[in-house]
Amino acid sequence: MESISSNLAAVREQIAEACRKAGRSVDEVTLIAVSKTKSAAAVRKAWEAGQREFGESYVQEFLEKCEAPELSGLPVSWHFIGHLQSNKVRQIVDKVTMVHGIDKVSTAEELSKRAVQHGLNVDFLLEVNVSREGTKYGLGPDSVLQAAEECFALPNVRLRGLMTIASPDPDTARREFSELRETLDMIRNNAPEPAALSELSMGMSGDFEEAILEGATMIRIGTAIFGWR
Ligand SMILES: *Cc1c(COP(=O)(O)O)cnc(C)c1O
């Protein structure tokens, strides 16, 4: 636990280095600390070290953690990064800053419906399976354009960009990140509000430097901050 703040400092330094290499400003990259399977006390430690954005993957665990006494009253910004089933949307809709893992238009429709009920506006990303591995969630790169167009019309939700989990090999991952960026550019060309489509959620502990070089605006890092799960 003591190492969380030093891990965070090291990760931030690596992000800054990758940004220098990429000729980008560090302000363009948001670090999401992925706290799945880790305790609310661990989140609290990271919060005390200045971290504000956190990522969770499992609905039940997320609900318990965001109500935990260790975090009560703290302004924590939660990103739901796991695969989200339609029937779970209503449980998280009023607790999240952004939903990253939407891979069906029907889930976006449910998010919209629940956001309307709560009088909220919710930002979300479409998940793309760039590695085309059958075991992963995500829309195929060929179907994401169509899906995005259907999402533009939905009330009280705003498509902000794309999310992906890349292949384990860093060189392959880099090509996939580049493909995600190109896919977002294509979607932007057909979008009613192109400027809103600014987010590329890509890069994890093992590949965030490659992701930053390819234009990531949000990186999701768990292990390098909180240790092994
Ligand atoms: C767990 C998880 C991460 C963090 O992975 P690390 O390799 O621990 O950094 C990022 N994104 C998603 C979608 C995850 O499920």
pLDDT at position 27 is 98
pLDDT of 136: 75
Give the whole-number percent of the chain exceeding pLDDT 70.
98
Dmax of the chain from CA atoms?
A: 48
**Displacement of CA 49 from its chain's centroid (Å):** 21
With the most atoms of ligand 1 within 8 angstroms of its CB, the residue from 32, 125, 208, 220 to mutate is 220
| Domains delineated in the chain | 4-226 (3.20.20.10)
Q: What is the mean pLDDT of residues 31-42?
A: 98
Alpha carbon distance 124, 114 (integer Å): 13
15 token code pair: 């992000």
Computed over every residue of the chain, the mean pLDDT equals 96
CA distance linking residue 128 with residue 137, whole number of Å: 8
Q: Could you tell me the distance, in angstroms and rounded to a whole number, from the CA of residue 33 to the centre of ligand 1?
A: 9
Strands 77-80 and 53-56: parallel
Q: What is the pLDDT of residues 195-215, one digit of tens each?
A: 999 999 999 999 999 999 999
pLDDT tens digits for range 47-58: 999 999 999 999
For a mutational test of ligand 1's pocket, the pick from 7, 34, 163, 201, i.e. the residue with the most ligand atoms closer than 8 A to its C-beta, is 34
Distance 57 CA to ligand 1 centre (A): 9
Is it the case that residue 135 has pLDDT exceeding 70? no
Mean pLDDT of 177-181: 98
Complete DSSP assignment for 159-209: EEEEE----SSHHHHHHHHHHHHHHHHHHHHT-SSGGG--EEE---TTTHH
pLDDT band at 59; cut points 50, 70, 90 = very high
Instruction: Say if residues 80 and 106 touch (Cβ distance below 8 Å).
Output: no
Distance 226 CA to ligand 1 centre (A): 11
Report which residue type is found at 110. Answer: E
pLDDT at 2: 65
Q: Any idea which residue has 């935990």 for tokens? A: 68
Atom of ligand 1 nearest to the CA of 36: 1
101 Cα nearest atom in ligand 1: 13
Identify the band that residue 134 occupies on the pLDDT scale cut at 50, 70 and 90: low
Q: Which pLDDT band holds residue 131 (cuts at 50, 70, 90)? A: confident
Among 78, 202, 204, 226, say which to mutate for ligand 1: greatest number of ligand atoms within 8 Å of CB: 204
